[in-house]
Chain A
Amino acid sequence: MSYGDEPGAVATTPASRLAGYLRGGGVIVPLLTTLLAFLAGGLVMLVTGSDPIATYEAIWKGTGLQWFFPWTTGGDRTLAASNLQQTLIITTPLILTGLAVAFAFRAGLFNIGGNGQYIVGSVAAVWVGSSFAGMPGFLHILLAVLAACAAGAFWAGIAGVLKATTGAHEVISTIMLNWIAVWVGIWLFSLDGPLQNEAQKSIPVSEDVVKGAKLPVFWGDPVLQGLHIGIFIALLAVVVFWVILNRSTTGFEVRAVGFNPEAARYSGMSVGKNYILVMAVCGLFAGLAGAMDVLGWQFRVATNDIQIAYFGFIGIAVALLGRNTAVGTVAAALLFGALISGTSQRNLDPTIFEPSLAGNLTYIIQGLVILIVSADVLVLGLIARGRGVFRRSRGAPPPAVAEAER
């Protein structure tokens, strides 16, 4: 019908529509989102009997971000530096898991599997990093990092292959793969597991990463968990992400497939191949995140670490808040990294807010951010669909909608 379908864009995939809305609001919407989340978090503190202003001030101090201000001096500056190192250590993997989700979004895919990809990356990194003791340091790090990237890419690639060949939805398959990663990881390092520590037979933990394979610390005391060079690797990954997406033929295809798979197919692109490639690249980013943590500051992986690993999931919030862009991802990762480290027992002033509860505050704020991000996606989505939604009556959408759904 030539008249019915004239106005408006054609719906493609839900994920690509979402990606479209996410890039729609500019920088104002994510800032408002964050502000609202903090306001709501403050209300929670108020209701539970804490002083929100004092608490936020303590969290702010705990993040170490005041180090950037020149008027922070003396002992304050030393403490700030140490806190900031912790913040950036956490920001590093969050940037990477954020990229892992954002890249998929740009191709119209939901990668919920960042956590599983992060775990297989950690496992690969700790395995390579704790073997080959005699290897020269640089080569050893490179090998461990490549192994982690390959493991993550392979893991996510499974979901890509399933999507391309059978149409299996990536949300389902990546969630399933998360659990497989968790349980395989636990099995590997549990007592008498194949990769369990030879020296400490009673502890379910991996071998330690050898000295040569540890990422160099360039700021702070290596013994007191100073900042390792992983932050630069993560920032390099952001540049790579941006270049691939915006300046390469691969990214051109990825974005075309993300916006309109049918038009991409008509242009000679293989939609299936792109799905596999995109998932593999996502897994590569998430696997790299695992390597950064293992080679940068954890140096060993216990079954307990695998059970409580959640940086892959925060990557979803990072990508959503960062609007799937390179710069946005860095900013959102820094926000969440600061929140996590600012509310950690180590950094938060215990007289202001009970440290055992502080971590939960992070969860609350994270949850609120995700909720509000989703809500504004919903609002933008409703606006975009406009009158069509409200005119829709029982069993009879207008022809324009019917056409679009064909």
Chain B
Amino acid sequence: MQAEAPALELRGITKRFGPVVANDGIDFDLRQGEVHALLGENGAGKSTLMSILYGLYSPDEGEIRVNGEQARIDSPSRAIELGIGMVHQHFMLVPVMTVTENIVLGEEPMRGALLDVKEGARRVKELSDRYGLAVDPDAVIEQVSVGMQQRVEILKTLYRDARILILDEPTAVLTAQETNELFEVLRALKADGVSIVFISHKLNEVLAISDRVTVLRRGERIDTVPTDGATEQSLARLMVGRDVLLRVEKATGKPGEPVLEVEDLHVRDERGLEAVKGVSLQVREGEIVAIAGVDGNGQLELVQAIAGVRAPESGHVSIAEHEVTGRGVRATTEAGLAHIPEDRHLCGLVLDFTLAENLALREYRSPPISNHGLLSVGQMNERADTLLKEYDVRGGEPSTLASSLSGGNQQKVAVAREIASNPKLLIAHQPTRGLDVGAIEFVHGQLLKERDNSRGVLLVSLEFEEIRALADRILVIYEGRLVAEFPPEVSEEELGVAMTGGRGGGRAAA
């Protein structure tokens, strides 16, 4: 027994979502006054674990102890009572209110029946001075930087006397400078005895700030190691694992003419920041080119710019020798592009449409589905019937609403539609996200079949195994630039290091 009980102890936490085991008997402990990093790929179960801790999900099995006492955390308010504070990836602030108002919201200091604004501002000032959390108490949230919004979120938890702080990918939205400032704050909090869980998949940051690291992979705890003595290589190995679960039979590709040429492409994201900073690449018919990278390094914007969903700032995109830069989705479709988007619910399917309608989304404007602007429902259903059988979509007829299918079958519908449009180039953006093993195999098989039919495939993925299994060439994207190119035989450690901005092997991409 330790002299001092750990701030937090999780024992055998298991959480299932239907057949998916998001957390499988996870043990985790957080010592008083330490920064404990939780490391893992997307979908490894980090967020689920922390949501359980914060009372958003209840675990199916396992127990939680806070400061040595067994605790049942069934709501965020219970978590707050226990001194647990969480800063989410997406901030929960009221944009039109001031910093102080946001912080005191729900716990307002009162004088009689009136809000004591001065007292609120004073306490906020006191807290921010103590930990070096520079905020302007009177600034309106929508006018302050993302970094300051995050400091407000941290202050919100401290204002509620949090002694255990959970930060869910806190650096994902920050600039390098802001990240350094955040680390200063975390060190000050730690010096004051606050215990911190730091969720991340960026290896260098984990090494810089944490005392210990727990690595999760596919819902299981792989290991907990002290940060002293760990390296980017060793952590990447833990994070990815050596076993390749998915092995697809793959013959060597026979690349032919280029079907996609991207030249010095610059793209801005939703916030107006440059997300793609001069990317050039080529995809030839009969090859799968994979773009590997940690989420949020410009993949989405790159894909959107190629597909015509987002206009690039500068640069060129040509598909099968048609210049399509900034000409919109119809131009890229006509040039021969098919696109399986990242988020099938938001972009890939119209969930309130029937399967027949969803399958017609690419070709509703041309015969036989429509003639002179009039739809042929018969043709639409007939074609849907064929495709649903061909792509083994289960649980739906042409007239079934897409929303009633399971995720895997929904994705099959999206894949079927795109491949059936007979493209020259297929972009698959995280095509197996959230799918079960069977559906993953199916999608992988389809992508390889397309390659063998002399189509060019651009695969964007966060999964090491998927990339290794499918790609003929691997390009690594980091902070909007292609930083390395690898053959598919690359070791996972090497790839992992390159993806997280470390200086790995490989050769610099053209």
Contacts and interface: CB of A to CB of B under 8 A. Distances in A.
Interface of A: 1-7, 9-10, 16, 20, 246-252, 255-256, 259-260, 262-268, 270, 391, 393-399, 402, 405-406
B67 to A, nearest CB: 22
A23 to B, nearest CB: 9
Contact of B309 (A247, A265, A391, A393): A265
B87 to A, nearest CB: 10
Given A2-B42, A259-B352, A248 B57 contact: no
B419 interface: no
B463 to A, nearest CB: 10
Contacts of B365: 249
Interface stretch (B113-121, B203-211, B313-321, B338-346): B338-346
B350 A6 contact: no
A78 to B, nearest CB: 45
A270 B47 CA distance: 36
Contacts of B105: 394-395
A262 B54 CA distance: 32
B220 interface: no
Nearest to B433: A2
Interface string B303-335: 000011100000000000000000011100100
Contacts of B349: 260, 263
Interface in B339-398: 339, 341, 345-353, 357, 360-362, 364-365, 370, 373-375, 377
B434 A2 contact: yes
A393 B77 contact: yes
A398 B330 CA distance: 37
A256 B434 contact: no
B86 interface: yes
B230 interface: no
B56 interface: yes
A397 B370 CA distance: 44
A248 B374 contact: yes
Contacts of B341: 266
Point out which of A246, A255, A267, A396 has the most chain B C-beta atoms below 10 A from its C-beta: A267
A391 B76 CA distance: 9
Contact of A10 (B57, B330, B345): B345
18 contacts: A4-B51, A5-B345, A246-B375, A249-B370, A249-B373, A259-B351, A259-B352, A263-B347, A263-B349, A265-B329, A266-B307, A266-B309, A268-B362, A391-B75, A393-B76, A395-B156, A396-B54, A405-B90
A9 B351 contact: yes
B403 interface: yes
Point out which of A16, A255, A393, A406 has the most chain B C-beta atoms below 10 A from its C-beta: A393
B309 A256 contact: no
Point out which of A7, A255, A266, A398 has the most chain B C-beta atoms below 10 A from its C-beta: A266
A274 B159 CA distance: 48
Contacts of B350: 255-256, 259-260, 263-264
Given A266-B341, A268-B329, A249 B364 contact: yes
A247 B374 contact: yes
Given A10-B351, A259-B350, A398-B56, 9 more contacts: A2-B43, A3-B47, A3-B48, A249-B364, A255-B350, A260-B351, A265-B309, A266-B307, A394-B77
Contact of A3 (B22, B54, B352, B364): B22
Contact of B346 (A7, A263, A393): A263
Contacts of B88: 396, 399, 402
A136 to B, nearest CB: 32
B246 interface: no
Contacts of B351: 9-10, 259-260
Contacts of A260: 346, 349-352
A396 B348 CA distance: 28
Nearest to A270: B328
B407 interface: yes
A149 B184 CA distance: 66
B490 interface: no
Contact of A397 (B92, B330, B403): B92
B438 interface: no
Contacts of A270: 328
A388 to B, nearest CB: 11
Contacts of B20: 3, 6
